Amino acid sequence: MNPNLVSIVPCPDYAPDVCEAALIAVLEPLGGLDWVKPGMRIGIKANLVTGAKPEKAVTTHPTLLATLTRFLKARGASVVIGDSPGNLYNASVLNRVYALSGLSEAEEAGAELNHDFSEKDGFHADAVQAKRFTYTGWLDSCDAIINFCKLKSHGMMSLSAAAKNLFGTIPGTMKPEYHYRFPNPNDFADMIVDLDEYWKPVLHICDAVTAMEGNGPTQGTPKHVGCLIASKNPHRLDVLAATLIGLEPKDVPTIAAAVRRNLTPESVDEIEIAGDWKAFLQDDFEIIRNRNSLLFVGGNNIFGRAVRGAINACLASKPKVKTSACVGCGKCRDICPAHTITIKNKKAVIDRRHCIKCFCCQEFCPVGAMRVHRSPVAKLLTRGKESSK
C-alpha cells in the first residue's frame, strides 16, 4: 500500500449515517483502522481554534468526531479529543469551546475531552526552525495521534488544513510568541512542518463537508464542498485541498516548505489519489491569496535588494480594521505579539511601522472586523488569474 496515497470520497452532509459511510469509505484505501489495537489510547487532534457552533464551519464537526470515536472504541481503544485554542489554556476556556463546538456529541460516543492543561518542553534535533518548543502535555498520554482538521482559508498561510492544524499543539497563550519569533511566512511555515515531523500523526483526515471561505480561519463564510479527504501524509493531503479550492499549492507556505524538504510533490498531478477528486473542484471559492505568491525575487546586489524590498512592500498583504464592524473589545490588542494595536475612541488602531503581518488579529477578532487587505497593485497583478476561476 502506498503510504503517500490520498483518499477522497463524497460526504454531502453531517447526518450520522452519511458520516459513518463516508468515514469508512475514505479510510478503506488507507487500510482502514486495522492498526488500532485493544488498549491503545488514541488522541484526536481536532481543530478547535475558538468556540463556535458547528454550522459556523470554524471547527471540526462534532458528528464526524463522534463517528470516529465509535469506530475506535469498537476496536478496544480509548479516545481523547483535544486542541489548544488561541486563548488561555485552562479548564474554563476549553469547557466553553467544547460546549459551543458541540463536543458533547463526541462525549456521548465515548470520547474523553482533554482536561490535562500541562505544558511540556520538546526538542526536535532535525527541525529547520523549531528545535526547541513548548507543547500541550496531553499528547504524551497518547499511543497514537489522529489529526482531524477542517478545510478553511487562512490569513497568513492561505490554507488551513492538515499541516496547519498541528500548530494547535502549541499552548494557546504561547502562539503569539511563535508568530513573533517567526514573522516571515516561510519561517513560520517551516516551524509548522517541524511540528508535523515531530508528532507524525498516524492518520490525517480533513472535514471538507462544509469548509470556510473568505475571512478565515474564524470569521469567514461556510462553503459547501461535500467531501472527506484522508492520508497518512499531511502535505499531500494539503496539495489536494489547496487545488480543490483554487489555490496554487506553491503559494501555500506550508506546502512550499514541505516541497523544499522533499515531503511532497508540488503538483496534484504527481500524487496518487483514490477517488474522483475533480468532482469537488470549486470555481468560486473565496480565498486569501498569500502575499508570498507575488514576491519579487530580483538581484542580490545592493540595487537589486533595494528594488526587491520596495516592490515587495507594495505587494504585501496586511491586516486592516473595518471600523464600522469594530466594537473596541481589545482582543486584537491583547493577542498582538508585536504590541502594535491600541484602542482609540473604541476602535482598534494598527501601528503600521511595527506590524509583523502575522494576522493574529484577523484570526482571533470575535466580530470579523480585522480583514486581510491586499494592495491595489497586488489586486491588479492577479486580477486575470482570479477572474478566471
Q: What percent of the chain has pLDDT over 90?
A: 71
Confidence band, pLDDT 50/70/90 cuts, at residue 308: very low
CA dihedral 246, 261, 127, 150 (to 10 degrees): 20
Take residue 145 and report the three cell numbers written for it.
495521534
Between 41 and 307, the more confident residue is: 41
Residue 166 DSSP code: G
The residue with cell 470569521 is 219
- Residue bearing the bigger pLDDT, 378 or 336: 336
Residue 312: all three cell numbers together? 515587495
Per residue in 17-50, pLDDT (tens digit) is 999 999 999 999 999 999 999 999 999 999 999 9
DSSP per position, 300-343: SSHHHHHHHHHHHHHH--EEEE-TTT-----HHHHH-TT--EEE
Asked if the model's pLDDT at residue 112 lies above 80, the reply is yes
- Per-residue model confidence as pLDDT tens digits over 150-180: 999 998 899 999 999 999 999 988 888 888 8
Of 27 and 368, the structure prediction assigns the larger pLDDT to 27
Q: How far apart are CA 237 and CA 163, in angstroms?
A: 9
- CATH class as words, domain 291-387: alpha beta
Mean predicted confidence (pLDDT) in 361-371 = 85
Supply the pLDDT for residue 88.
86
pLDDT greater at residue 365 or residue 120:
120
Round to whole Å and give the CA distance between 375 and 377.
5
Query: Measured between alpha carbons, how far is 260 from 375 in angstroms, rounded to an integer?
Result: 28
| Cα dihedral 243, 219, 89, 105 sign | negative
Q: Tens digit of pLDDT for each residue in 230-280?
A: 999 999 999 999 999 999 999 999 999 999 999 999 999 999 999 999 999
* C-alpha torsion sign, points 78, 160, 358, 341: negative
Contacts 24+ apart (CB under 8 A), 74-78: 75/33, 75/36, 75/37, 75/38, 76/36, 76/37, 76/38, 76/39, 76/40, 77/36, 77/37, 77/38, 77/39, 77/40, 77/41, 77/42, 78/40, 78/41, 78/42, 78/112
b (16+ CB within 10 A) / e for 162-179: bbbbbbbbbbbbbbbebb
Q: Is the dihedral of CA 251, 27, 233, 121 positive or negative?
A: positive
Nine-digit cell string for 274: 483514490
Domain with CATH 3.30.70.20 in the chain: 291-387
Q: Does the structural domain 6-280 have CATH classification 3.40.50.11440?
A: yes
Q: Which is nearest to 196 in space by CA: 177, 159, 168?
A: 168
Q: Which of the 8 DSSP states describes residue 114?
A: P
**Cis amide bond preceding 38, omega within 30:** no
Region 200-212 average pLDDT: 98
- CA-CA-CA-CA dihedral for 342, 160, 156, 339, to nearest 10: 30
Phi, psi of 305 (to 5 degrees): -65, -40
Confidence (pTM): 0.84
Q: Is the Cβ–Cβ distance between 112 and 80 less than 8 Å? A: yes
- Cell representation of residue 144: 497514537
User: CATH 3.40.50.11440: which residues of the chain?
Assistant: 6-280
Element (H, E) at 199: helix 185-199
Residue 383: how many other CB atoms lie within 10 Å: 10
Q: Between 91 and 389, whose confidence is greater?
A: 91
Q: Is the pLDDT of residue 293 over 60?
A: no
State yes or no: pLDDT of 316 exceeds 80: no
Provide the pairing of β-strand 158-160 with 144-154: antiparallel
